Amino acid sequence: FSISYGTGLWPWLVTSSLLGLALSNALWGWTLTADTWQPTFAAFVSLPAAMVLLFGGGWKVTLNGAVLGALLVTPCCLLMVNFVCLPLGLPVVIGNVLGMALGSALAFGLCRCVPVLVKSQVEPIVEKPAARPKPDYGVIWTLRRVLAD
């Protein structure tokens, strides 16, 4: 069954997300104390996957998505949580979601200014996808969809 919206980019998406998580933890792990936590998961669930889905697979996009996720998303989340949410008594989920949005906006702006981060010299040949039969939306389909999502 199709995952990653049926794009076929699942291996690139997971690779970029896992690399972003590992790099984020390596770069920002020092912010973790016994009384606090760090949103390194934010680099896993946001920018790397979005970059792969938007710009396609390949090592350039995969690695740049992971690096930008660790360099931009995690610190944005840390700043929002520690300097906005905690002082104002807001739930930390607000800071994490705002940090993911802000970090992703910065990364996509950077990709727009420096397109070599996500585009190769050779334009890929895009094939027209084959027609697929309409799925049966029964119980089995629902269970498979839940697992895929």
User: Helix crossing, 59-68 with 92-113: angle to 10°?
Assistant: 140
Q: What is the pLDDT of residues 94-138, one digit of tens each?
A: 999 999 999 999 999 999 999 888 886 555 555 666 677 776 678
- Rounded to an integer, the average pLDDT of 43-69 is 90
Would you tell me how many other CB atoms lie within 10 Å of the CB of residue 34? 4
105, two tokens: 């906006």
Going by C-beta distance under 8 Å and a sequence separation of 6 or more, which residues neighbour residue 42?
Answer: 24, 69, 73, 74, 77, 96, 99, 100, 103
Q: What is the pLDDT of residues 13-37, one digit of tens each?
A: 899 999 999 998 888 888 777 677 7
Number of compact structural domains in the chain: 1
Q: What is the pLDDT of residue 28?
A: 84
Torsional sign, CA 96, 97, 99, 100: positive
- Rounded to an integer, the average pLDDT of 57-78 is 92
Domain that holds residue 14: 4-148
